[in-house]
Amino acid sequence: MMPNTKPLSVRTTLLTLLLPSGIVLMALAWVVHGLLLDRMSRDFVEGRLHDEVAFLELQVRQSGGQLDALQTGDYFEEVFHHAFALHSPAITTISPESWRPLLEPLLETEQQGSIRVQGSGAAGAPSDILAYRRQITIDGVPYVIIVSEDMDALRSSQAELHAWTAIVSILLILLLVAAIWVGIALALRPVASLQSALTQLQGGTISRIDVRAPEEFRPLVNQLNQLLDSLDQRLERSRDALANLSHSVKTPIAAVRQILEDDSRPLDTALRDEMARRLGDIDKQLETEMRRSRFAGPQVGKSALPVKQARDLLWMLGRLYPEKSFELTTDLTDEHRWPIEEHDLNEVFGNLLDNAGKWATQSIELSLGESANTVRMVVTDDGPGVAAENLDHLGSRGLRLDEQTPGHGLGLAIVRDIVQRYGGRINFSDGAKGGLRVEVDLPRKS
pLDDT of the residue at 78: 60
Whole-model pTM: value is 0.46
CA distances in angstroms from 244 to 250, 347, 406, 410, 420, listed in the order given: 10, 21, 20, 15, 19
- How does DSSP assign 389-400, residue by residue? GGGGGTT-TT-H
- Chain centroid to CA 8: how far? 21
Per residue of the chain (446 residues), give pLDDT as tens: 445 566 667 777 777 877 788 788 888 888 887 888 888 888 888 888 888 888 888 888 887 777 766 655 555 556 556 788 888 888 888 878 878 888 888 888 888 888 888 766 666 677 788 888 898 888 888 888 888 888 877 777 778 887 888 888 888 888 878 888 888 788 777 777 778 877 877 777 777 777 666 677 777 788 788 777 777 777 676 666 666 666 666 667 776 776 676 666 666 777 677 777 777 767 766 666 665 555 545 555 577 899 999 999 999 999 989 899 999 999 999 899 888 888 888 889 988 998 888 889 899 999 999 988 899 999 999 988 888 777 777 766 544 334 444 444 567 888 888 888 888 999 988 888 888 899 999 988 64
Q: What is the CATH number of domain 22-155?
A: 3.30.450
| Domain locations in the chain as residue ranges | 22-155, 233-293, 306-443
At residue 296's C-alpha, the angle toward residues 290 and 297, to 5°, is: 125
pLDDT of the residue at 12: 78
pLDDT of the residue at 291: 59
| Pairing, β 325-330 against β 141-150 | unpaired
Rounded CA gap, 235 and 228, in Å? 11
Domain 306-443 is in which class?
A: alpha beta
Rounded CA gap, 335 and 333, in Å? 5
Q: Under 8 Å CB-to-CB from 323, ≥6 apart: which residues?
A: 362
Q: Under 8 Å CB-to-CB from 30, ≥6 apart: which residues?
A: 162, 165, 166, 169
pLDDT of the residue at 311: 93
At residue 427's C-alpha, the angle toward residues 425 and 430, to 5°, is: 165
Rounded CA gap, 315 and 305, in Å? 16
pLDDT of the residue at 309: 92
Q: Under 8 Å CB-to-CB from 282, ≥6 apart: which residues?
A: 248, 249, 252, 253
